[in-house]
Amino acid sequence: MQAFQDRLGRNIAFLLRVRLYGREDVRGKLCDAVAGAGAVLAELELEEIEETSKDLVYLLTVFTTGDDQLAAARDAINQIDGAAVMETVDVAMESHRGGSCEMTAPPIESNTDLRIVYTPGVARVCKAIEANPDLARDYTAIGNTVAIVTNGTAILGLGDIGCVPGMPVMEGKSAIFRNFAGISAIPILVDTKDPERFIETVVTIASTFGAIQVEDVAAPACFRITRELDERLNIPVMHDDQHGTATIVLAGVKSACKQLGRDLARMTCAISGAGASGTAISELLQQAGIADVILVDSKGIVHRDRDDLNPEKRALAERTNKDNRTGGLAEAMQGADLFVGCSKPDLVSQEMVRSMNADPIVFPLANPVSEISRDDALDAGAKIYADGRYMNNAIAYPGIFRGALDTGATCITRAMMLAAADALADIVPDGELLPEMMDPDTHAAVAEAVAAAVEE
């Protein structure tokens, strides 16, 4: 994955169709033009040689920081004598045209097929389920279906952009569920900021699904929503930003401990950000036996003498920060062995990294720009570094749901998350912190470990 991370943030792909007017000697200038604009030329492919004019038509795949760099590259190409950009395609936009997931069904090729999939054949299936509700697991899609529910209040790093603008993210998640775990995942936009209404809506439609993924709902509403849904429904409910991220971080920490020969029980972790992820990471690290966790929110270290804490943070203050330390992020990081960032870009200075214990582990997960860059962190003495692009929770949640659905689990427990983290840490290739997301074995290992934890 490292290969795709450009430190200058040139990750927006465009396809340029460029015509060279009967001249072959300007190809080098094409490459120079793209480079001159600051963009990366990823691919250059001859599409055709026109028969009469002998013009050459090339397809250029160009990675840019965005529209400005694209415009600069286009201008530079158009200024070459004998070259012109004929067409520009926004690769991400085009890939999402028509959406990224859809409901499909086996072909109905005859009236006989129809009379089985629908009436009268289907009535027999309905009656069988009515007589024995457990059969719904085998004779409907419910048992393999996950609802991805969002209210659009915390879409990626984009914030509260609303449900419909958040839909491409939900569709992307659905594609990940399908590809990595064979799960039918249905985006459901729950268009309300009222947690009560959100909960009631999801409860009312929950019998459609085998599990619920709460997705990109802002804190603190996400806590109440996840907790109440979990209490009221007899199917697994997971909040990706809490449970998925915590599982991945724990797996990464376990791998790092192995590499460095460290003992988690003797480590202290500073966490920047006490939202959904920070809270869940704190809890899972403690469950896994870490010595102490110091959480920092926008007002400073979460400690027992603060009188501005909401109920979630008050509870955290009781369970973390054993010495009741006060101060800000700098104070929290002093003497810590591990830093996890779930907050904002560039909050961490090199000085702060230098104040940590020897050979610290630094996981600044803020997206799209992390709390401290790799170069700055390593330069300040960080021994192991991983950012939010590397610590992708899509390595964890498809397998967690697969394991939960396969065993008919009724909730996602800490034991299941711990088992998933262990399974991930067990199969990490040398020199990595997490196994490869594109490898089906990764998700199979998680599913198996989670299923075993459920059976236990």
Annotated catalytic residues are: 118, 173
Strand arrangement of the beta sheet that strand 145-150 belongs to: 184-189, 145-150, 211-214, 237-239
User: What is the separation, in whole angstroms, between the first and last Cα of the chain?
Assistant: 35
Sort strands 145-150 and 83-90 into parallel, antiparallel or unpaired: unpaired
Residues 138, 196, 231, 359: which binds its own copies (CB under 8 A)? 138
In the numeric block, the tokens 């270290």 are attached to 301
| Minimum separation from the CB atom of position 225 to its own copies (A) | 13
Residues 22, 157, 311, 440: which binds its own copies (CB under 8 A)? 157
Q: CB burial class (10 A; 0-12, 13-18, 19+) of residue 244?
A: buried
| Minimum separation from the CB atom of position 319 to its own copies (A) | 31
Interface stretch with its own copies, choices 159-167, 238-246, 324-332, 340-348 (CB under 8 A): 159-167
Interface stretch with its own copies, choices 195-203, 375-383, 397-405, 406-414 (CB under 8 A): 195-203
Residues 18, 76, 163, 284: which binds its own copies (CB under 8 A)? 163
Q: Which token pair is 42? A: 């990823």
User: How far is it, in rounded angstroms, from Cα 313 to Cα 30?
Assistant: 56
User: How far is it, in rounded angstroms, from Cα 255 to Cα 206?
Assistant: 37
Contact 273, 297 (CB under 8 A): yes
Which of the residues 271 through 310 are near its own copies (CB under 8 A)?
Answer: none
Q: Which token pair is 292? A: 């102490």
Residues 35, 46, 86, 156: which binds its own copies (CB under 8 A)? 156
Residues 141, 291, 411, 452: which binds its own copies (CB under 8 A)? 141
Q: Which token pair is 120? A: 């009268």
HSE on the CB side for 208, CA within 13 Å? 16
| Minimum separation from the CB atom of position 154 to its own copies (A) | 12
Q: Which token pair is 332? A: 């929290």
One character per residue 419-438, x = contact with its own copies (rule: CB under 8 A): ------------------xx
Our CB check for its own copies shows the closer of 6 and 359 to be: 6
Our CB check for its own copies shows the closer of 136 and 309 to be: 136
Which of the residues 357 through 386 are near its own copies (CB under 8 A)?
Answer: 367-368
| Minimum separation from the CB atom of position 274 to its own copies (A) | 23
Contact 14, 62 (CB under 8 A): yes
Our CB check for its own copies shows the closer of 200 and 292 to be: 200
Q: Which token pair is 4? A: 């795709």
For 207, other C-beta atoms within 10 Å of its C-beta total: 11
Which of 24, 42, 46, 23 is CA-nearest to residue 34?
42
Residue 261 as a binder of its own copies (CB under 8 A): the answer is no
Q: Which token pair is 112? A: 């006989």
Our CB check for its own copies shows the closer of 210 and 236 to be: 210
Residues 70, 185, 316, 424: which binds its own copies (CB under 8 A)? 185
- Longest pairwise C-alpha distance within the chain: 82
Residue 7 as a binder of its own copies (CB under 8 A): the answer is no
Residues 23, 27, 178, 354: which binds its own copies (CB under 8 A)? 178
Our CB check for its own copies shows the closer of 84 and 189 to be: 189
Which of the residues 88 through 127 are near its own copies (CB under 8 A)?
Answer: 90-93, 95-112, 114-127
Our CB check for its own copies shows the closer of 102 and 455 to be: 102
Our CB check for its own copies shows the closer of 332 and 404 to be: 404
Contact 186, 149 (CB under 8 A): no
Interface stretch with its own copies, choices 19-27, 50-58, 186-194, 276-284 (CB under 8 A): 186-194
| Minimum separation from the CB atom of position 125 to its own copies (A) | 4
Contact 444, 406 (CB under 8 A): no
Residue 13 as a binder of its own copies (CB under 8 A): the answer is yes
User: How far is it, in rounded angstroms, from Cα 269 to Cα 347?
Assistant: 16
Residue 39 as a binder of its own copies (CB under 8 A): the answer is no
Our CB check for its own copies shows the closer of 321 and 442 to be: 442
In the numeric block, the tokens 């603008």 are attached to 165
Residues 57, 175, 291, 411: which binds its own copies (CB under 8 A)? 175
Contacts of 446 (CB under 8 A, 6+ apart): 395, 396, 398, 399, 400, 402, 403, 420, 423, 424
One character per residue 391-410, x = contact with its own copies (rule: CB under 8 A): ---x----------------
| Minimum separation from the CB atom of position 63 to its own copies (A) | 10
Residue 142 as a binder of its own copies (CB under 8 A): the answer is yes
Residue type, 428: V
Residues 84, 85, 158, 330: which binds its own copies (CB under 8 A)? 158
User: How far is it, in rounded angstroms, from Cα 298 to Cα 344?
Assistant: 10
User: How far is it, in rounded angstroms, from Cα 238 to Cα 388?
Assistant: 20
